[in-house]
Amino acid sequence: MFDYRKLFDLSGRKALVVGAGSGIGEAAARGMSAHGAEVICADMNADAAERVAKSLSETGGHGSALALDIRDGDAVLQTMAALSDLDVLVSTPAINVRKPLLQMTEDEFDRVIALNLKGTFRLMTAAGRTMAKRGRGSIIAMASIRALTVEPGQGVYAATKAGVLQMCRTLAAELGPQGVRVNAIGPGVVDTPLTAPISANREWYDAYAKKSALGRWAQPHEIAGAVVYLASDAASFVTGTLTLVDGGWTAVDGRFTPPL
């Protein structure tokens, strides 16, 4: 009989979290470690990765640190070659240049694409090759509500997140026969370093809060549950999906509440 108590148990699994030095990546690393996974904390900021890895070990988990820039194709390939026993990949890095499309320069466009889309492509395909050989694995990439809905100044960022979602769906179809699952998570507005420019503007911050059904921003740890779920056997028949963790933003976007 299936043991339902082990649905979310990640004991004995090795997970690589890229972008683990802060925000959603750090929360993902902490969440999977708390459920028994061995977590490799990768980040461009080696000190930040080391800080998170050390804290995992100090709280009874198993964490290690790795400096990694996913814009460096050779570094990504070398990292994956050394992780032939990888069970879970979580990809979180992204940047945003908030400008109307008519004001966006080609250099800015290329910078956002290079990290958000091409970097994620490198990670997912390199991990996918390794996992396909083993016949199992879970790849989780951070998309966004911006994969579905957009606002002025978010065009290039939104395009990358829509691209990440479609790559996840395609890779899910291509790797399903090899037992590898690929899914995307779509956070709403989350209080992270990426959104710090908005947090600094109270009017903008409050306007975003009011857009969700819950009337507030998310904290990074509120995304970790979706990561643990998709990494675990609780999601063993889940692939090619977008799991929205947006406080109801996309359900009520553009709503008007009449004076009833």
Active site residues: 157
Long-range contact set of residues 62-66: C-beta below 8 Å, sequence gap at least 24: 62/33, 62/37, 62/38, 63/29, 63/33, 63/38, 63/39, 64/38, 64/39, 64/40, 65/40, 65/41, 66/16, 66/40, 66/41, 66/42
Residue 110 neighbours by CB under 8 Å, 6+ apart: none
Tell me how long the chain is. Answer: 260
DSSP assignment string, 15-26: EEEETTTSHHHH
- Whether 176 and 239 have beta carbons less than 8 Å apart is answered as yes
CA distance 26 to 229: 16
Q: Name the token pair of 48.
A: 């930040």
CA distance 93 to 192: 12
